[in-house]
Homo-oligomer: A and B are copies of this chain.
Amino acid sequence: MTFPKQIRNLIEAFERLPGVGGKTAARLTFYLLHVPDEEINRLGNAVLNLKKDIYYCSICKNISDKEVCEICSDPARDKGLICIVESPLDVFSLEATGKYKGLYHVLHGVIDPLHNMGPEELYIDSLMEHIADSGKRIEEIILALNPTMEGEATAMYLKNKIRNSNFEIRISRLGMGMPTGGDIQYADETTLQQALAGRRDYE
């Protein structure tokens, strides 16, 4: 027995999403078979309209519904500080802290040779333009890339690139160590090494 074509189509489309296997795809599809039509239309249209009127901000490449995003166009933001992140979701997480008042630059990926992502696939040229256009206003660039192999490689690449471009800019990275609520017993060696190396005076 095979499922009708419409059902197979949706199972296959769900399976193409990251982290969704065959069982989950079938479960989601059969769930949708039992919901009211409005629910189905809501999801289907939300997918189809996803990219409608969505732009990458012409300055920082964050997603936006305007040509220049609300962060880049906010006069209260500190234009001397750029935080470089991998994805717009990282911007969202950092904004949720309420502690960062500078600008961002979204690379939309990291250098990852195994997945054919080289520096030219990332928004690095526009970052260098952003820095050049700002003249001497930029004081610090925070490399807020994930502490993974690919993130480290990308951070290294960017550090060299910015250094070689003769801008006098402080380049920093996010602090590393134990996450809040973490358990020393279960922390991996690298994290503990970073936590020891990054220890601070207890005030």
Contacts and interface: CB of A to CB of B under 8 A. Distances in A.
Given A6-B65, A18-B28, A24-B19, A44 B33 contact: no
Nearest to A39: B16
A163 interface: no
B40 A47 contact: yes
Contact of A63 (B4, B13, B31, B47): B4
Contacts of A41: 48
Interface in A49-99: 49-54, 63-65, 70-71, 87-89, 91-92, 95
Interface size class of A (residues with CB under 8 A): 35 or more
Copies in the complex: 2
Given A4-B53, A7-B50, 20 more contacts: A1-B70, A1-B91, A3-B92, A4-B54, A4-B65, A6-B49, A9-B49, A10-B47, A13-B42, A14-B43, A16-B43, A20-B28, A26-B92, A33-B88, A34-B108, A40-B47, A44-B44, A44-B45, A45-B48, A48-B48
